[in-house]
Structure 1
Amino acid sequence: MARLAVEKLSLESLAVRVSANYSPFWFKSLHFTSNALAKKEHICTDSPENINIIIKSIQSGKTEDELFQSLIRDQACNTIPISHNLVSHLLYRFKDDWKSAFGVFKWAESHPDYQPLSESYDTMLDILGKMKQMDKMKTLLEQMNHRHLVTINSIAKILRRLCGAGKWEEAVMIFDDLHNFGLEKNTESMNILLDTLSKENKVERARNIFLELKSHISPSAHTFNIFIHGWCKVNQVDEAQWTLQEMKGYGFKPSVISYSTIIESYCRHSNFGKVYELLDEMESQNCPANVVTFTTIMSYLTKNKEYTEALQIRERMKMGGCKPDTLFYNALIHTLARAGRVQEARHVFEVEMVNVGVKPQTSTYNSMVAMFCHQGMDQEAIRILEMMESSNLCRPDIQTFSPLLKLCFKTGKTDVLLGYLLDEMINKYHICLDLATYTLLIHGLCRANKCDWAYRFFQEMIGKDIIPRYYTCSLLLDEIKQKNNYAAADHIESYMKHMKSS
């Protein structure tokens, strides 16, 4: 198949797309819409125009109540009919900015003709929990309970976030009080609690709870798979092997998931001899490895720089009649890229996947972008980005742009390329920057002698309650002092003192 014909986007054409006098204070010039946009007729409630009107009214650094009030007072926003799709899109957009997400959620909820779905409440619970806003999360749960909207999925998100914050005792209390939410203690809810505890390295506690409950709540095969995963996570693979035997004692046959979890543990410790032993055991037990198993093994061999052996996994998979999927191809492309076999990786992406009918996902494009960035091939990396944009299969995410941003700083192309990338991320795809991206930008801009721009990112991230690393603050402070920007230096020093005292 001929190589896909995609027009290369040169840095010269980027210069046309980004103003020559591009301001380092990009957020002033990268607003999402003009005031005239508010006067346009809305065809779809979750159209880009409507979404942009709402996003434009969100100001960083405000509390959720202030944001809610600003939305209420915004005449353009209040002409937009609220839909479940609109709310879902906005919550995803602000998934790393809990204040904006909560302000938007309260605004939507306040409309008399709109009642959020349970799924929207669950998303908001998860955002609050992720950002460690536990009191607000629990208050929202009580509000849901009054409206009879709490589901087992709501409880799963609450338990996960409580355990993630080290509050596993509170998670157990929530489980004990399930009847207060109109839910039952049964195998499904027990498994959710056990799984949450195990994933937070509390597998022994989960085991003790199971021993207390097993007399009146029957386990399932999934119960034992939870423990297998939990024991492997805390590096007690022998306990995981014993759980396989216990599973059989309860009449459950170990599945490919059971074996693959233990295989992943051996891979993590580079014990590939045990990996191949388990593969042989699976075949003898008429439980053949699946594409996930092979993908896992290939990925860890690649991580250990065993590229030749990793590529042999592909042949073993073919011999077993196991068909590759998108994630396997992602791993294969990554392996070929790490091995420096760029043209083979390109062939897999542009020819082989097309021939077998496996469609790429965002992660596939990300692998290609990362490969070309690693090789310093910025033109090819941007070409892949444009291919993704025109494919209509998926959208770029923050991982798509991370290697491009790194390459931008590495090559010193901050004046034009960085502006283009930020415009794509923020204005076109409404990607919310996270801690890692803010850190990358601040460090890169400081080293590129653009510390005023870096300081703007610093202000924005702390306005979103994203806490920068202390080293990031220290680096920025040194650069700001060299520029004699005393007001900014005082602000950073004050913030660093607060970090130390909290």
Structure 2
Amino acid sequence: MNRLFSKSLCTSAAGANLKPPPADSAAIAKLILSSPSTTTHQSLDDQFLLSTETPWTPQLVNSVLKRLWNHGPKALQFFHLLDRHHREYIHAASSFDLAIDIAARLHLHTTVRSLIHRMRSLRLGPSPKTFAIVAERYVSAGKPDKAVKLFLNMHEQGCFQDLASFNTILDVLCKSKRVEKAYELFRALRGRFSADTVTYNVIVNGWCLIKRTPKALEVLKEMVERGINPNLTTYNTMLKGFFRAGQIRQAWEFFLEMKKRKCEIDVVTYTTVVHGFGVAGEINRARNVFDEMIREGVLPSVAT
């Protein structure tokens, strides 16, 4: 058992007397991690992994990849082993997305391109989700321009941009606090993709995340002027933005305006106000809002 991954054991003659391979992702991950080599596929070219008796499914493969998340090279070896050498199993698109995410996190850009090419050859994608994964990794690595370029060139890989993918790239940029870049892209392409409520909410949230509430209000105003109705998510985002920026008075006035306009106040709204007052040290006001919440029949959440 010293060489669990010996290539010589992969013959059909040897395989006839083998015990059924483990179908548990934890056991498989442990088996892979026990391999002494991280540089060649031979240590992974193993009877247990390549056996046709192994009940490989996308769910099992994905579970193994997730367990190997912090062991990126091993995870990719496992993925490539099945892709290149298993006689029957073909990876699902979701497994490719996980492998691409792992490779992108390790800055293995050649591997990312190779995996995307392989997806195309199998007609499994890439999908907008695939590009969102890579874009997010570019942004995390401090390369927002590459993320935008990737989005603009999606069609070259057979995946055409749509409103959903536009909203996704904006969200990725905003949540990484590259809001200026997101806003620039938003202004350039909002007409082409017919920006909707989700699009505007993403930008409002972006400005609120970096505590630039005046810009968020500008976007909210533009949203209304263009005939796009804000929803409760829009208002809750704006409310949270005021509290995040320490603008307690503006937050309270905005909350009162929401009630005046008969907005459907929900548990998120109340929780935001209670939490905002609590963080500001205004415990009595937080308690009063909490009591109002109960009177209005809104059940508190764990966060409240």
Provide the TM-score with structure 2 as the length reference. Answer: 0.81
The verdict on how the C-alpha distance between 1:170 and 1:256 changes in structure 2, with shifts beyond 3 A counting, is: same
Return the match for 1:71 from 19, 37, 44.
44
- Do the aligned partners of 2:35 and 2:44 also contact (CA within 8 Å) in 1? no
- Do the aligned partners of 2:208 and 2:244 also contact (CA within 8 Å) in 1? no
Return the match for 1:278 from 241, 254, 269.
254
Code of the residue aligned with 1:130 in structure 2: it is R
- Do the aligned partners of 1:54 and 1:77 also contact (CA within 8 Å) in 2? no
Deviations 1:316-363 (A, max 9, x none): 322333234xxx21x25xxxxxxxxxxxxxxxxxxxxxxxxxxxxxxx
Query: Which residue of 2 is the match for residue 114 of structure 1?
Result: 89
Code of the residue aligned with 1:317 in structure 2: it is M
The verdict on how the C-alpha distance between 1:314 and 1:178 changes in structure 2, with shifts beyond 3 A counting, is: same
Partner SS, residue 42 of structure 2? helix
Number of aligned positions between the proteins: 284
More contact order relative to length (CA 8 Å, sep ≥ 6): 1
Partner SS, residue 238 of structure 1? helix
RMSD value, Cα: 2.8
Residue identity over aligned pairs, in percent, reads 26
Query: Which residue of 2 is the match for residue 86 of structure 1?
Result: 60
Query: Which residue of 2 is the match for residue 210 of structure 1?
Result: 186
Greater helix share, structure number: 1
Return the match for 1:291 from 267, 272, 276.
267
Partner SS, residue 109 of structure 1? helix
| Cα separation, 1, equivalents of 2:198 and 2:181 | 17
Code of the residue aligned with 2:179 in structure 1: it is V
Deviation at 1:53, TM superposition (A): 4.2
Deviation at 1:123, TM superposition (A): 1.7
The verdict on how the C-alpha distance between 1:313 and 1:106 changes in structure 2, with shifts beyond 3 A counting, is: farther
Deviation at 1:277, TM superposition (A): 1.8
| Cα separation, 2, equivalents of 1:40 and 1:282 | 66
Query: Which residue of 2 is the match for residue 219 of structure 1?
Result: 195
| Cα separation, 2, equivalents of 1:298 and 1:59 | 51
| Cα separation, 2, equivalents of 1:99 and 1:187 | 35
Deviation at 1:282, TM superposition (A): 1.6
| Cα separation, 1, equivalents of 2:106 and 2:294 | 44
| Cα separation, 2, equivalents of 1:259 and 1:294 | 12
1:136 pairs with 2:136: no
Return the match for 1:96 from 38, 45, 70.
70
| Cα separation, 1, equivalents of 2:55 and 2:61 | 11
Deviation at 1:306, TM superposition (A): 5.3
| Cα separation, 1, equivalents of 2:156 and 2:119 | 12
Query: Which residue of 1 is the match for residue 27 of structure 2?
Result: 52
Consecutive unaligned residues of structure 1, counting only runs of 5 or more, are 1-38, 333-502
Provide the TM-score with structure 1 as the length reference. Answer: 0.51
| Cα separation, 2, equivalents of 1:252 and 1:261 | 16
- Do the aligned partners of 1:54 and 1:71 also contact (CA within 8 Å) in 2? no
| Cα separation, 2, equivalents of 1:55 and 1:146 | 31
Partner SS, residue 286 of structure 1? coil
Query: Which residue of 1 is the match for residue 15 of structure 2?
Result: none
